[in-house]
Chains A and B, each alone.
Chain A
Amino acid sequence: MLEVGYSVPRFDARSKVTGEEKYAADCFPEGFAWGGVKRAGIAHAKIVGIETAPARALAGVIAVLTHQDVPGTNRQGLVHKDQPVLAAEKVRHWGDPVALVIAESRETLARALSLIRVDLEPLPGVFDAEQALRPQAPLVHESGNLLLKGEIRAGKGEDALGECEIVVEETFEVPFQEHAFIETENGVAWQEADGTICMHVSSQAPFRDRFEIAHALGIDPLKIRVSSPYLGGGFGGKDGATVQCLLALAALNSGGRPVKMSWDREESFVAGYKRHPVRMYYRLGARPDGTLHGLHCRLYWDTGPYAHLGGEVMELGMEHAGGPYRIPNTEIEGWCVYTNNPISGAMRGFGVCQVSFAFERVMDLLAKKLGMDPLALRIKNGLRRGDKNCCGVTMVHSTGIVPCLEALGRHRLWTERDEWKRSAGPFKRRGTGIAAVLNAMGYGRGLPDSAIARVELTPEGKIRVFCGVVDMGQGNSNAFLQIAGEILCQDSSCVELVHPDTGRTHPSGSSSAGRTTYTYGNALIRACEELKAKLFHRTALFLMLDEPRGLALAPGAVRHLPTNREVPLAMLGKSFPESDRVCISEYVMPVAQDVPDTGKDFSIGFPHVLFSHAAHIACVEVDELTGKVTVEKYLAVTEGGRIINPQGFEQQVHGAVGQGIGYALMERLMMKDGRILNPDFTNYILPTSLDLPDLDSIAVETVEPTGPFGMKGIGEVGINAPLPAIASAIEDAVGAAVNRAPISAACVLHALSGRERANDADGGVQR
C-alpha cells in the first residue's frame, strides 16, 4: 500500500537500474539529424561577418543558420528578454551561439562547425561585478552593466549599527558552481505535418519553454508542444532555455526531419548556466548580551551577459541575507551586474547558498568576539513563529530553526566534539563547525505559484496522475503517486504517471524553488479527493444506494462497508466516459500578507513567507603537511514540516550536502578573460564516493498546515549549510579564518603555516 509517511521505494528506481528508462538523451527518432552550435570562442566582440558557405557546401549538411534566419524577436529570457537565440551584432560571452548547423551525422556536424568562420572584432571585456560598475567599464549592453539594484530595509537600517556595542565586519567571496548533472542539456524536436513543433527535452519547465520559444521565434505557443521525461539531473541548470529555442529553429529548417541536439560535457560547461559568484561585504552589530541589533550588507552578483534569472536569484539571496535570525534593523543592498563571464542563473539554493556563507561566518565572528558559544548565540537569536525576519516579514508558518539547533546540540557530534578533536592522529588537526540556514519555498509575490493536477480513473481501473511538473531526479513524482495511493487507497501497481507534456498535462510551473511537491501535491490532493467523491457517487449508482455513504476505497475496488459489497475500479472505469472519470484541481501557494514597505525594485519574487530550516555540523580533519581537508563526519538536521517519504527526504538531504561539500572544498571554475580553463570533469572537481563521509540526517518534524500532509520542500535548504559549517570547522582546526570559497588545500596550508591569508594563492587563475 502506498502510505504517506512511509519509505515507499521509488517506483521509478526499477526502470532506472535496469537501463530501461528513456531519458531525452536516449531518444534517437527514426531518420533524425544532428544539430549543433558554433560558439563565439571569445568573451566580448563585435560580429563583423559570418562565413557559412564552406559549411553549407559540405556534403551531409542540411542547413546552416544564423541570426538572419531567426524569425521572431530572436530574444529569450525568463524575465528580461535580452538573450539572443543566435547572436547578431555582438557576442557577450565565450559560449554565445553564433550559428546553428543541422547535419546527417555527428562527424559531419563537427566538420561543418569547424568550417564556419566568424569574423569578430574583439572588444575589451569585463569579468568582475564591481569592476563592471565603474564608469569606464566596457559595456556588455548599451543600456549599461547594471541589471538590477535592489534594497531591503527594515527598522532603522544601517544607522542601527551605530547603536551596537559590538560590530563585526568581513568580506566574503563565493565562486561559480557548475550544476554538473550527468545528463547534459539535450533534446529532440520535429515539425508535425500541421506545423506544430514538437520537442522532447531535458527541461525543468516545459510549459514555460513553450512561451520562450514562441516569443523568440515568433510562433504561436499553442503550435508548440514540449514534453519532458525524467531528467538525468537538473539542480536549476535546466530551468530556462538551453537547447529549446535552437532546437525549435532547427526543426523549422530540417525539412520535417527530427533534429537531435546534445551538448557534450565541454559545451555544457561553456554554454550552460552557473551558480552566481558573489562578493559580499557584511557588517553585523549586536548588544553585549549577544542580541542581534543591526545588519548592513552590500552584495555584488555577477550574472554574466544575460539577465536569465539573475535579478530573482539576487532577490532571494538578499531576502535571506540576515539568515534565520531576528535582526530588527537591516539594510541589505544588492547589485546584479552584467559581465562577460558565463551566464549565471538558477541553482539549488538560488542565491541563498551564497549569502549563507556570509551570515554564518559573521555569526561565528560575533560569537568569538563575544566569547559566546556559537550554538547558544544562534539559538538565542533564532527566528520563532511570530518574529519578523530580516525583511520585516512576519514568520506566520512553521518556523523550525530553533528546534533544529537544539537537536544538533543534543547530538554526540556536538556533545563529544572536544574528545573527538583531541584524538587527531599525527600531522592531523581536527575541528567542528556549525551552520544554521533557511530556504524559502515558492515563487514569492508577483507571480502566482500554482499547479494544476489532473487525475483519472483509467478504463482499466488504474489511477493515472497527469503530472505537469518535471521530476529531475528529486522524486516528486514518487511523492505524487504516494499521495494518490494514500487518498485513493491503492498500491503501486494500480497507480501510474503521465510525464509533463504541454499536450497532455496541465501547466504546473517549473520544477524549482522547493515548490514542486508542495504546490503540485496540494493540487493533487484536491483532485484525488474530488475523484474519490466522484467514484463514491458512481458506486452508489451501481449498488443502488440511497446516497454515497458507508463507502471506502480498497485496492482495486470501492467497498460498501455496511454490506461488504464491492465494485471493482475496472468496472467503474469501463462504465463511464472520460469526463466522469477525470478530476482536475488547482492550487496556489499562499503569499505574505504583510508586505513590508521595501524591496520595491523587485518586480517578482519579494517577499516569501514559507521557509524550511536546517542546522548542520561538520567535523573535519586537516592534514598539516598538505592542507588537505577531509570531512570526517557530518550531520544535517532538517525541518521541513511533515515527511511524505522518509527515504526521499534523506535522499534530498544527502544530495544537497554532497553538492554543498563540493562547493565548499573542491569545485572551482578557473576563468581567464571569460574563458573557462577547466570545462570538463577532469579538472572541474566533483566529489567521488571517496570524498564524502557517511552523512547523517535527522528530521525535526513540524506541521505546516498549508502543506500537502503537512510537508514543505527541503530540496534546497541542505545545500546552504555545508560551506559555512566546513569553513567554521576549518577555522576551528587551524585557527585562521577562511572567507573565500572553494577552500583549497593551498589556502588551508598557507593558513596553517601562519602566513598571510592565502586567498590569492591561486593567483590570476581564479576570477
Chain B
Amino acid sequence: MKISFTLNGKSTEVDVAPDRRVVDLLREDLRLTGTKEGCGAGECGACTILVNGESRLSCLMLAAQLEGRCVTTIEGIGEEGRLHPVQEAFIECGAVQCGFCSPGMVISAVDLLGRDPNPGRGEIRRGLSGNLCRCTGYVKIVDAVETAARRMNAASDVKPDAGEKERVVPGAPGQGQRR
C-alpha cells in the first residue's frame, strides 16, 4: 500500500503493508533508528514521535494511519546542524546515560514545552511520565528540561519583532493549568 506523509519536513511516499507498525517502518524500512523500541506495548515511551505536532507512540500506530499526516522523529528535531535547545540542555545537564530512552525523552520534552513553555518541575515530571529511564533517576532530565525552557523563553523574549503570541507571559491564559 502506498502511503504519503510528511516526514521530518519532507514529503515522503512509502510502499508498505498498511498494518506495519510505524516503529518498524521508521527503523527497519527507512533506517531512522533514532526512534527506539523498548517494550512494544506503549509502556516505555522509547518510540515516541510527533504526529501533527503531538507526541505519539510509534509502536502503537499502523503505517496506514500516517497517511496525510506530519511526522517528526528525533532525526527531525533541531535545525540543519543545530541542536534543539532541549537537546543542548540534555547534553549539558548530564541527562544522558545509556541514551536509549533519550530520543523519546527529548521528543516528549519538546511536546511539553510546545504546550507549556513555562513548566515547573512538577509539570516537567508529569510531561515526561510516559518515558521510562532506567539509568538516571530522572533528576538531571528534569534539570535539562527546566534549563531548556528558561533558555527558550529568554530567546523568545529578546526577539525584537516577536509577536504577542510568541511572547511568554507568565500566568497568561492558554498556558495550561497548574496544580
In the complex, are there CB atoms of A and B closer than 8 Å?
yes
Interface residues in chain A, defined as those with a beta carbon under 8 Å from any beta carbon in chain B: 7, 9-10, 12-14, 16-23, 25-26, 28, 179-184, 230-235, 264-265, 472-475, 647-648, 650-651, 654-655, 657-659, 680-682, 686, 688-690, 692, 694-695
Max chain A Cβ within 10 angstroms of own Cβ: one of B34, B74, B98, B121: B98
Q: Which of B50-58, B101-109, B149-157 participates in binding chain A? A: B101-109
Q: A19-B33, A19-B73, A265-B38 are in contact. Are A183 and B43 (CB under 8 A)?
A: no
Partner of A17, one of B73, B103, B124, B126: B103
Question: Which of B27, B91, B100 lies in contact with A181, CB distance below 8 A?
Answer: B100
A682 touches B137 (CB 8 A): no
A698 to B172, CA, bound (A): 38
Q: A16-B102, A19-B74 are in contact. List 4 more A-B contacts (CB 8 A).
A: A182-B100, A264-B40, A654-B139, A688-B130
Which 8 residue pairs are nearest across A and B when measured between Cβ atoms? A19-B34, A473-B98, A16-B99, A232-B100, A658-B137, A654-B137, A26-B33, A19-B74
B100 lies within 8 A of A265 (CB): no
Q: A264 to B32: give the CA distance in the assembly, Å.
A: 19
Give me the interface of B with A, judged by CB distance under 8 Å: 27-28, 31-41, 43-44, 46, 73-75, 77-78, 83, 87, 90-92, 94-103, 106, 121, 124-126, 128-142
Query: Are A233 and B129 closer than 8 Å at their CB atoms?
Result: no
- Structural contact, A19 and B134, CB atoms closer than 8 A: no
Q: Which of A180, A655, A657 contacts B97 (CB 8 A)?
A: A655
Pairwise interchain contact A20-B135, C-beta atoms closer than 8 A: no
Interface contact B121-A680, CB-CB below 8 Å: no
Nearest A residue (CB) for B141:
A689
In the docked arrangement, what's the CA distance between A470 and B22, Å?
A: 31
Number of A-B residue pairs at CB separation under 8 A: 172
Question: Taking each of A12, A19, A22, A472, which has the highest tally of chain B beta carbons within 10 Å of its own beta carbon?
Answer: A19
CB distance from B176 to the nearest CB of A (A): 16
Pick the contact of B142 from A19, A20, A180, A694 — CB < 8 Å?
A: A694
Known contacts A7-B94, A13-B96; decide if A682 and B140 are in contact (CB<8 Å): no
B98 touches A689 (CB 8 A): no
Structural contact, B44 and A681, CB atoms closer than 8 A: yes
User: Contact: B134 with A233, CB < 8 Å?
Assistant: yes
A17 B136 Cβ-Cβ under 8 A: no
Q: With A19-B34, A181-B100, A265-B40 known to touch, is A651 a contact of B135 (CB < 8 Å)?
A: yes
Residue of B39, B78, B121 ringed by the most chain A CB atoms within 10 A = B39
- Known contacts A10-B91, A689-B142, A182 near B28 by CB under 8 Å: no
Knowing A7-B94, A233-B100, A233-B135, the reply to whether A654 touches B41 (Cβ < 8 A) is no
A182 CB contact (under 8 Å) in B32, B34, B44:
B44
Find the A residue at minimum CB distance from B92. A9
A231 contacts B41, C-beta separation under 8 Å: no
A180 to B77, CA, bound (A): 27
Contact A265 B39 (CB under 8 A): yes
Is there an interface contact between A681 and B94, defined as CB atoms closer than 8 Å?
Answer: no
Closest chain A residue to B91 by CB distance? A13
Q: How far is the CA of A658 from the CA of B78 in the complex (A)?
A: 30
The smallest C-beta distance from A627 to any residue of chain B, in angstroms, reads 22
B75 neighbours in A (Cβ, 8 Å): 18-19
Could you say which residues of chain A place their CB within 8 Å of the CB of B135?
Answer: 233, 473, 651, 655
B52 to chain A, nearest CB (A): 20
